[in-house]
C-alpha cells in the first residue's frame, strides 16, 4: 500500500484536523490540487471551499476552509486558515442565519455597508451550507 501523507488543518482558534491520509485534495487559488505522499514541496493560497482527504480506513473526509494557505511537503500537508470546520461540525442554522444577514446587507441601500465583507460572508455561508447538506 502507498505511504500515507499527514494532513493538518489549524486555525488561530483550534486544531481542526490532524490525521493520516492516502490523498488530500484542496481548493487552491489557481484550481484544485491533489497531494500524495512524495509530492514536490510547494505553497498555495486556498479559496473558500472544501478540502477533502481519504483517511487510513479509506473513508472520505470533508473540511470547510476559508482564508487559508497550504504548505505541501513530501510527507505532510499543513493548512493554516482563518476558519475551518469538519463537515460534521457545521452548524446549519448558524450558516443559514449568516447567509440571510449577508443577503440583506447586499440588498440594502445603506452606504455604510461594506460590500466586499458582505460578499465574503455570503460566500462562506453558501459553501458551509453546500457542504453540510451534501451526501457523504
Binding span for ligand ATP by CB under 6 A among 21-29, 31-39, 68-76, 90-98: 90-98
> Among all chains, which residue has been given the C-alpha cell 493520516?
20
Considering the rule CB under 6 A, would residue 4 count as an interface residue with ligand ATP? no
User: Given its phi and psi angles, is residue 31 left (phi above 0), alpha (psi -120 to 50 degrees) or beta?
Assistant: left
Decide whether 23 or 118 has the Cβ nearer to ligand ATP.
118
Q: Per-residue string for binding with ligand ATP, 58-77, x by CB under 6 A?
A: --------x-----------
- Min dist CB 107 to ligand ATP, Å, is 17
* Given 3, 60, 75, 91, the residue binding ligand ATP (CB under 6 A): 91
Tell me the CA distances in angstroms from 115 to 49, 59, 98, 110, 124, one per residue in order.
Answer: 20, 39, 15, 10, 14
C-alpha cell of 119?
460578499
Amino acid at each position: 500500500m502507498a505511504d500515507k501523507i499527514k494532513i493538518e488543518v489549524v486555525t488561530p482558534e483550534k486544531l481542526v484536523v490532524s490525521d493520516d491520509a492516502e490523498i488530500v485534495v484542496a481548493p487552491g487559488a489557481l484550481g484544485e490540487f491533489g497531494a500524495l505522499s512524495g509530492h514536490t514541496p510547494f505553497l498555495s493560497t486556498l479559496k473558500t471551499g472544501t478540502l477533502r482527504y481519504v483517511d487510513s480506513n479509506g473513508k472520505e473526509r470533508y473540511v470547510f476552509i476559508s482564508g487559508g494557505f497550504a504548505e505541501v511537503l513530501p510527507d505532510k500537508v499543513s493548512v493554516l486558515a482563518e476558519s475551518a470546520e469538519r463537515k460534521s461540525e457545521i452548524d446549519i442554522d448558524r450558516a443559514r442565519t449568516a447567509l440571510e444577514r449577508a443577503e440583506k446587507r447586499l440588498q440594502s441601500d445603506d452606504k455604510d455597508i461594506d460590500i466586499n465583507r458582505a460578499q465574503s460572508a455570503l460566500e462562506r455561508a453558501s459553501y458551509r451550507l453546500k457542504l453540510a447538506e451534501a451526501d457523504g
